[in-house]
Amino acid sequence: MREWLATLPNVPEGDALSPERDHLRSVRPPVGYSPLALKKYTPPPLWKSSLDELTGRGSRARRAFVNAQHLLEHGVPTPRPVAWLEVHSGNRILEQYLVTECIPNSCTLRGALLHHYFEKPLCRDLMELLELAAHAVRKMHDANFEHRALNNPNILISRDEKGKWKEAFILDPHRGKIWTNLPPRIRGRDNGRITLPSDLRRIFFEMQSTPETVSAAFSKAERRARKRIQRQQCRRRLRHPFQKSLPPARDYPPEKDIWIWDDRSRQAIPALRSRDKRPYYRKRDLLEMGAASLKHGRKIKAAYNDIREQAWSQPVDMNGCIGLSCNLEPDRFEKERRWLEPLGPLPLMVRLYHHESVSNRRYALDAIRKLKAEGHRVTVALIQDRRAIQFPTAWNAFVEQAGGALSGFVEGFEVGHAINRVKWGVWDYEEYRSLISAFKDWHNRFPQIPLIGPAGIDFEYPRVLPLLDQWPTQSLSAFSHHLYVDRRGAPENVQNGYDTVAKLAMARAMARVHPACAERLIVSEVNWPLKGTGVWSPVGSPYQSPGARFNDPSVDEATYADYMRRYFLLAVCSGLADQVYWWNLAAHGFGLIDDRDPNGWRPRPAYHAFKELIEQTRDATFTQKIEKDQHIQLTFSKAGTSFDIGWTYP
């Protein structure tokens, strides 16, 4: 090996190990040795070379070798150093090399992120990747080593034989400094070059600090370092006006276009924190919101007052009002069908996702036909992602395929999903207009499939109202909305002076006044998150942060069942919601059934409560409400008899 190393500077360089690391090559050692990696460093200027020799710092290759040994001695994963080599001419270093073990089946953190951003935007795998990298950085800092050049290309990630992320390694430690005790301030400063969207960066730092929370000193130093580096990059062109740098083979997408799907909580996750989203908002949207409020506000207010007076005053036929959502994935649909059987025929809301594979879509289309054959009334929510906006031709083809395959099998299509949340891919009203352009002339092409929408979420009607203005007159057969109770307690709770019934009345007033839709109101999604379900909960996703949680809306299973019954009865019996769909049948974090129970799928109290409510109200008619001292009693008639359902709320 020594003889071979002595000839290494004259050995032709091998294949590049990474597209973004031009000077890192694989080399073939003598027979009997594992593959090696050769790092060739750019020769330093004469003054720096002489200074390094005089101060005893040595070349970059030598420092990388020594620092890598320090890291390995302290259990920090880094490619094992084999040798460093230098070619001198007097005090000047002409060539310098570092030889390390070669980590097979690996790529840098930069390459791994590009893979997730463009090819596999799955949150579970992305979190595993960030956790591996964060733990490697934490180990390095616990070894009292400051890297001083810690960026995405200097973290290497290996895969196992199944393609899963396996281990993270620290690369290029030649600039590093060994401390006696590395303080949080230096740890934060060392993270200033990590490139991630702000919310993923927050998670990355929390992973480093777990089980403690991120310290204030860490956060302050990281922010200052990041700003300093950004200023340096802005001044680089002025400092080096004639220097040309080649762009990377593939760059990160714009932050607003990063879209990640979390299959555990079944939602898209935000890549950016709230303050970092603001520059991407379209300022003209504020004018459109104001114009829509001025145009329709007075009529909506008058209709709202009228609807509030009429609430609870009319009999309500309960058949077909209480619905449920289920999942159509190939690995779980048959299980969910078995749990649907005891409930009898139901109104069902199912989802078709634009981001899913073609094979999964075909399976979902077949599953919808099966549900229809079993007597269920199926409404389909067409769920967009960011690519639906970026590639409208693909979105249009997705819509056409769904319409052609399901005409005659479904009650209608819900267009869009949580459309006032940018994490679902739509940033402004202009993009929303692009999204719904696929439904132009819809009633002529697919007259058997009514449309409902615009499927906004939460009590943000001023943001939703301009969405209706994008639709032609009578385009929507119902106003649909995901109406949660601020996720802060019981259905009777008040938010900004409005309880659930008042919020429903306002939504119905919008449906009555706006010419784009008929006066029907559908709550197409509602639930409460469940305590102790971690990242499977919509409020725990995508990462369970260390430390105490404040204003956590999660509830226990018994409370969840109670709130569900009360929400259904308030929404339907008031006569304000024509249909309410509970989200959803089977989910660990928010479903009627716990699909992660080690003993198999377990029905929660809410499943039995839902089944009982369906059986009680099938073929029943609501007739009267009596409310006194925070006690509500509802009377129903059924088959010539009457019965009551009542509860007391705080």
Evaluate whether 186 touches 179 at the Cβ level (below 8 Å).
yes
3-state SS class at 523: strand
User: Which residues have CB under 8 Å from 446's CB, separation 6+?
Assistant: 403, 404, 407
Provide the 10 A C-beta neighbour count for residue 284.
11
Burial class (CB in 10 A: 0-12, 13-18, 19+), 38: buried
Evaluate whether 344 touches 604 at the Cβ level (below 8 Å).
no
Mean pLDDT computed over every residue of the chain: 92
Assign residue 325 a region (left: φ > 0; alpha: ψ between -120 and 50; beta: otherwise): beta
Whether the predicted pLDDT of 435 surpasses 70: yes
More confident residue, 502 or 53: 502
Q: For the domain covering 106-237, report its CATH number.
A: 1.10.510
Whether the predicted pLDDT of 460 surpasses 60: yes
User: Which residues have CB under 8 Å from 70's CB, separation 6+?
Assistant: 143, 145, 178
> What is the average per-residue pLDDT within 248-258?
86
What per-residue confidence (pLDDT) applies to 244?
59
Burial class (CB in 10 A: 0-12, 13-18, 19+), 353: buried
Angle between helices 500-513 and 284-310 (to 10 degrees): 110
> Can you point out the beta strands (E) in 287-407?
316-317, 322-325, 347-353, 377-383
Partners of residue 414 on adjacent β-strands: 381, 452
Eight-state DSSP code of residue 498: B
Report d(CA 508, CA 300) in Å as an integer.
Answer: 9
> What is the average per-residue pLDDT within 552-576?
96
Evaluate whether 259 touches 386 at the Cβ level (below 8 Å).
yes
Distance linking the first and last C-alpha atoms of the chain: 79
Asked whether the bond before 152 is cis by omega within 30 degrees of 0, the reply is no
Sheet holding 21-27, edge to edge: 16-18, 21-27, 36-41, 92-101, 81-89
Whether the predicted pLDDT of 246 surpasses 60: no
What per-residue confidence (pLDDT) applies to 368?
98
Evaluate whether 534 touches 514 at the Cβ level (below 8 Å).
no
- Helices (H), ranges, 374-419: 386-390, 392-406
Eight-state DSSP code of residue 330: T
Name the pairing type of β-strands 155-159 and 165-170. Answer: antiparallel
What per-residue confidence (pLDDT) applies to 44?
81
What per-residue confidence (pLDDT) applies to 243?
63
What per-residue confidence (pLDDT) applies to 310?
95
More confident residue, 325 or 14: 325
Eight-state DSSP code of residue 278: G
The secondary element (H helix, E strand) that includes residue 166 is strand 165-170
Domain boundaries, the chain: 2-101, 106-237, 284-620
Whether the predicted pLDDT of 32 surpasses 90: no
Q: Decide yes or no: CATH 3.40.50.720 for domain 284-620.
A: no
Confidence band for 143, pLDDT divided at 50, 70 and 90 = very high
Whether the predicted pLDDT of 279 surpasses 80: yes
What per-residue confidence (pLDDT) applies to 95?
82
Report d(CA 279, CA 524) in Å as an integer.
Answer: 31
Q: Each residue of 566-616: pLDDT tens digit?
A: 999 999 999 999 999 999 999 999 999 999 998 899 999 999 999 999 999
User: Which residues have CB under 8 Å from 346's CB, separation 6+?
Assistant: 322, 323, 324, 340, 376, 377, 614
Confidence band for 650, pLDDT divided at 50, 70 and 90 = confident
Same fold for the domain at 2-101 and the one at 106-237? Answer: no
> What is the average per-residue pLDDT within 462-488?
93
Partners of residue 98 on adjacent β-strands: 39, 84
What per-residue confidence (pLDDT) applies to 14?
54
The encoded tokens of residue 426 equal 């739509």
What per-residue confidence (pLDDT) applies to 242?
65
Confidence band for 425, pLDDT divided at 50, 70 and 90 = very high
What per-residue confidence (pLDDT) applies to 47?
77
CATH architecture, domain defined by 2-101: 2-Layer Sandwich (3.30)
Q: Each residue of 68-116: pLDDT tens digit?
A: 999 999 999 999 999 998 888 877 788 888 999 999 999 999 999 999 9
> What is the average per-residue pLDDT within 210-229?
96
Would you say how long the chain is, in residues? Answer: 650
What per-residue confidence (pLDDT) applies to 532?
93
User: Which residues have CB under 8 Å from 512's CB, separation 6+?
Assistant: 303, 307, 519
